[in-house]
Structure 1
Amino acid sequence: MKVTDFMPKGENTIEALIENLKKRERDLPDVDTFKKQLDPLKHDVTDPYIRKDKDIIVEKQVRGENGKMEVVEEPGKEKVNRIALALQKLVVERAIAFLFGNDPKMSGDVNSEVEKLVFSIVSKIKKSNKTHSTNRRVARSLFSATEVAEYWFAVPSERYTKYGVTTSYKLRHKIYSPLNGYKLYPRKDETGDMVAFSLEYTRVDGTISTTYFEAYTDEEKMVFTRDSTAGNDWVFKERRPIPIGKIPFVFAEQPLVEWADVQILIERLEKLLSNFADTNDYHASPKIFIEGVLKGFAKKGDAGAILVGEKGSKASYLSWDHAPESVKLEIDTLLGQIFALTQTPNISFDSVKGLGALSGIALKLLFLDAHLKVKNKEETFTEYLQRRNSIILAYTGLLHTPVQSTAKEMDLDDNIEPYMIEDLKEMIETLLAGNGNQPVIPHEVSVRLSPFSDNPEDDYKKIVEETKARQTVDVFEETF
């Protein structure tokens, strides 16, 4: 399919073509709102027009007409506390950590030597492009802006050999996120398959601002531009074929940002903490209530100071018994609901310091909610990662033509494994119990895994030599 196939009937202008390609099933993400919610310094609680400073009366000493100092009251402002929390960012980052804390493992039906070669090439392409980091950036964009796109393309390179075969190209990719100013326009048919993908963005060069519109199909890429110097009309710039026969984009979307369900709770928590901080400024220091007449008061800094009053006078500290507890209860309730509704485990130091040594099962139960969330996210990312593999396989057939037919028929999946702190001791004990206390890993592997070895190969050779030396000595030792 060509880009021009999306020209509306009866129309023949670039403007009509672009407007048709821009048609979406839902509105563009409200990126400005998402950025504001992600940045604690832009929360409503920090806005002086929303949370206003207090109007107060300030006493000032001025010299009067008679030359004497007089006390005059004037209106003034007292700054209020504005406490903002980066909970939206915490929800996103913790979700990413559990989803892609472990790099997904690629799998597929690999039997023949050609299939093994294709599998190896795809693995090296992904390693070269550091897709383990890409996965996290993709998830961050999706969770923070509800959309993300990933573009794969070939770059000419003389005798590139990092994929295990010699090629004239290397594969690279780029992430397009609404947070970085990109507007994404996926176009799908009745069956849900993507038939076109377009993106729009703006670049500024000096005083000239140029808007680009790129449209992709399985056959070609077309680029249009417009700027103020051209009368703000769209102008055709270039047209290129798509060599792999499919749209080189991976696209993912979700209906809401990750913190949408708890945004109102976060705003309430910030307001509550800010108000409580204001109250503490007034009432945190002890206050004394006096009945009767006070005759003398200690100077500031006097040790063992006392109050002096007339006979019958009484003095007592004012205490605030119940209000702080009610505030603490609401703060704890809000935090609990924020973590629970977003399936975000509260693993701060204060929360886990009293847990002690937990077994492997206890750890899994502790992070059960986070792992269930990962399972829900697999609905999106299993398809996303499979689409990426499909694009890389298509490029693999072009990079190394002897495997082209095999690469075209292969299917590779990426299996997502939620992050978990492993209880290695319990795992090894379970394996030993299952195989009759026989070794579960080779001696050389255990040396390689040791944190005390800087050169595992040399250390293993020394251990073997020392073992042989002890056995030689043992042969000549007396046994009676």
Structure 2
Amino acid sequence: MGIIQTITNELKAAIGYQQSFDELLTAGDVTRAVAMLNSRSEAASRNLLDYEVGSHKVMEREDRAVYDKQGNFLRWSKRNKIPIPYQKYINEISLVFLYGRPVKWAQLSKSTDDAFSTYIELMRQVRFDSSVRQAKRAAGAEGCAAILYHVYRDENNTPQLLLNVLSKKNNDDIYTLKDQYGRLKAFAWGYYLTEQGNRTIHHIDVYTANTIYLCKRGNIGWEVQTMLNPIGKIPVLLFEQETEHADVQPMIEREENMESVDADVNDRFANPAMVATAEILNSLPKSEEEAKLFILKNGGDVRYLTWDQASESKKNQFERLDKHILSKSFTPNIDFDNMKSLGNLSAKAIRKVMLLAFIKAERHKENHDGYMNRHASLMKAILGNVLDYRHKAMYEALELGHEFQEPFGDDVSEMLADLSKQYNDGALSLESYVEKSYLVKDSKSEMERIKTEQAERLAQQMELNKMDVFGEAE
């Protein structure tokens, strides 16, 4: 953008000239356009301070100055700083119970097998299951993350799709613009690139349903490249939530401070100290000597001064804090001893033991059901409008459903017994039986093999019947 356009934009702003979001971007006034968006970076940065152990508040404890009786400085006494990564533990458990196993997709429409197969294969190629876990982990830590669906042409001029997970930890700035109903109207991604001359340049890419604005900070103002959005939708899956540790953060800080202070006390008093009266005839043995003989005069005494353990109330508070931090964040206490006791339990029994995590997962599904629906809509638009536009009608006809899977799997033996009973009672078709069996990986191919075997058995039976008519059968 030239200096004349910059001056024009400043004059319009000075006289209160009202311009829409698109008009500001078209005019190259990116700074004011982005100011209309909701920046998620500041909140994400604050949340990351609580999430990363190196920036916990307990790390701000300063060493204690030691002075003599006259007030002269002697030395610095080291103070312990013990951060506890509760936040990461809580976040990872939440992630595992929601996306520990990939989302299971189902085809709800008929005569769209090719479209569904292409959809599943594209999901595998772009590693969607990995990307969605990364995005959920980032959202649980920062409060906001996004998956950007980037379409481009490779060296063979073939359209391709790339999924890019955006988060503050990866130095991405996320901006959003929504209407009064919470619908996303614009999305912006801010980042920095090192270009020629070792210069770091600020970029902001703005996406609307119809247009993509590639904005680059220049020497004077912004340079804006405008292009048509080929997908026809804002190519972003936005993950928004309260951080997983938000409700228990004060308790975590309290326990970290108690642990650090307790470590200081242990350093000062936990090791036993020798107390001796002056009536010892020989000197105390040095640390490298093996001799432990003390010659005492009448009334002499040698003993060790030991520090009693911490009070019962302090111990109880540690236990209460740990219990409340986990239970109030809906996080089960999963350690080696607890997991060892689950060895012979069924899936239903494990679900009862891990009930807190399942409750949290069900709460998350209220939003993540919508996220998966939006993902399916975006993928169909990308396939129909960009990657395979010749078969656009086929993808538009495709209807998809999804199901979140249990992290520990289902009780397959019980499920198979139930399926067999329903099939034998005539309440379930053979095709449905095959589709629901956990032993079958490809139900379509399995049905073809079953039909082939049935036809072979029928042909053999007809041949035996024919031989029996002519008296040739045994």
Whether the TM-score (by the shorter chain) exceeds 0.5 is yes
Q: Taking structure 1 as reference, are residues 425 and 395 closer, same or farther at Cα in structure 2, changes over 3 Å only?
A: closer
* Mapped pair 1:369 → 2:382: no
1:44 to partner: Cα distance: 2.6
Amino acid at match of 2:45: D
1:397 to partner: Cα distance: 1.6
Amino acid at match of 1:43: H
Q: Taking structure 1 as reference, are residues 19 and 243 closer, same or farther at Cα in structure 2, changes over 3 Å only?
A: same
* Mapped pair 1:209 → 2:209: no
* Mapped pair 1:75 → 2:88: no
Residue matched to 2:215: 224
Kindly report which structure 2 residues correspond to 1:258-337, keeping only aligned pairs within 5 A, or say none.
258-288=244-274, 293-296=279-282, 297=284, 300=287, 305=292, 307-312=294-299, 317-321=304-308, 323-337=310-324
Query: CA contact under 8 A between 1:149 and 1:176: conserved in structure 2?
Result: yes
1:129 to partner: Cα distance: 0.7
Query: CA contact under 8 A between 2:38 and 2:175: conserved in structure 1?
Result: no
Q: Taking structure 1 as reference, are residues 192 and 37 closer, same or farther at Cα in structure 2, changes over 3 Å only?
A: closer
Distance in 2 (CA, whole Å) between partners of 1:355 and 1:381 is 29
Gaps in structure 2 of 5+ consecutive residues: 1-18, 425-432, 442-474
Amino acid at match of 2:314: V
Q: 1:318-374: CA deviations, max 9, x gaps? A: 454452543332222211111112111211224444566333332111111101111
Amino acid at match of 2:105: M
Distance in 1 (CA, whole Å) between partners of 2:107 and 2:78 is 62
Q: Taking structure 1 as reference, are residues 53 and 435 closer, same or farther at Cα in structure 2, changes over 3 Å only?
A: farther
Amino acid at match of 2:187: F
Distance in 2 (CA, whole Å) between partners of 1:427 and 1:298 is 74
Q: 1:220-269: CA deviations, max 9, x gaps? A: 11122214xx13x1222x11111232222221212x32211222222221
**1:52 pairs with 47, 56, 63, which one?**
63
Amino acid at match of 2:108: D
**1:156 pairs with 117, 129, 153, which one?**
153
Residue matched to 1:416: 404
Q: Taking structure 1 as reference, are residues 212 and 300 closer, same or farther at Cα in structure 2, changes over 3 Å only?
A: closer
Residue matched to 1:107: 106
Amino acid at match of 1:344: T
1:376 to partner: Cα distance: 0.8
Q: Taking structure 1 as reference, are residues 382 and 204 closer, same or farther at Cα in structure 2, changes over 3 Å only?
A: same
Q: Single out whichever of 18-27 and 383-392 deviates more from structure 2.
A: 18-27
1:283 to partner: Cα distance: 2.1
SS at match of 1:358: coil
Q: 1:190-230: CA deviations, max 9, x gaps? A: 33322222222222335523221222222111122214xx1
Distance in 1 (CA, whole Å) between partners of 2:36 and 2:177 is 8
Q: TM-score, normalised by structure 1?
A: 0.74
Query: CA contact under 8 A between 1:118 and 1:396: conserved in structure 2?
Result: no
Residue matched to 1:393: 380
- Greater percentage in helix: 2
Q: TM-score, normalised by structure 2?
A: 0.75
Query: CA contact under 8 A between 1:363 and 1:421: conserved in structure 2?
Result: no
1:110 to partner: Cα distance: 2.4
**2:366 pairs with 363, 367, 379, which one?**
379
SS at match of 1:197: strand
Q: Taking structure 1 as reference, are residues 46 and 190 closer, same or farther at Cα in structure 2, changes over 3 Å only?
A: closer
Q: Taking structure 1 as reference, are residues 404 and 424 closer, same or farther at Cα in structure 2, changes over 3 Å only?
A: closer
Q: Taking structure 1 as reference, are residues 446 and 181 closer, same or farther at Cα in structure 2, changes over 3 Å only?
A: closer
Amino acid at match of 1:6: F
Amino acid at match of 1:39: E
Percent of paired sites with the same residue: 25
Kindly report which structure 2 residues correspond to 1:132-147, keeping only aligned pairs within 5 A, or say none.
132-147=129-144
Distance in 2 (CA, whole Å) between partners of 1:300 and 1:158 is 74
**2:165 pairs with 151, 175, 190, which one?**
175
Aligned residues: 409
Q: 1:350-406: CA deviations, max 9, x gaps? A: 444456633333211111110111111112211112111111101222333453123
Q: Taking structure 1 as reference, are residues 302 and 28 closer, same or farther at Cα in structure 2, changes over 3 Å only?
A: closer
Distance in 2 (CA, whole Å) between partners of 1:433 and 1:318 is 74
Amino acid at match of 1:221: I
Q: 1:30-73: CA deviations, max 9, x gaps? A: 333333222222323233xx332342559xxxxxxxxxxxxxx9
1:27 to partner: Cα distance: 5.9
Query: CA contact under 8 A between 1:99 and 1:419: conserved in structure 2?
Result: yes
* Mapped pair 1:37 → 2:50: yes
1:288 to partner: Cα distance: 4.8
1:80 to partner: Cα distance: 2.0
Residue matched to 1:249: 236
- Greater percentage in strand: 1
Query: CA contact under 8 A between 2:79 and 2:264: conserved in structure 1?
Result: yes
Amino acid at match of 1:268: R
Distance in 2 (CA, whole Å) between partners of 1:126 and 1:322 is 57
Query: CA contact under 8 A between 2:40 and 2:173: conserved in structure 1?
Result: no
Q: Single out whichever of 215-224 and 399-408 deviates more from structure 2.
A: 399-408
1:8 to partner: Cα distance: 6.7
Residue matched to 1:97: 96
Q: Taking structure 1 as reference, are residues 25 and 94 closer, same or farther at Cα in structure 2, changes over 3 Å only?
A: same
1:433 to partner: Cα distance: 8.4
SS at match of 2:54: helix
Residue matched to 1:14: 28
Distance in 2 (CA, whole Å) between partners of 1:109 and 1:446 is 22
Query: CA contact under 8 A between 2:45 and 2:168: conserved in structure 1?
Result: no
Residue matched to 2:36: 23
**1:403 pairs with 388, 391, 413, which one?**
391
Query: CA contact under 8 A between 2:347 and 2:408: conserved in structure 1?
Result: no
Q: Taking structure 1 as reference, are residues 332 and 425 closer, same or farther at Cα in structure 2, changes over 3 Å only?
A: farther
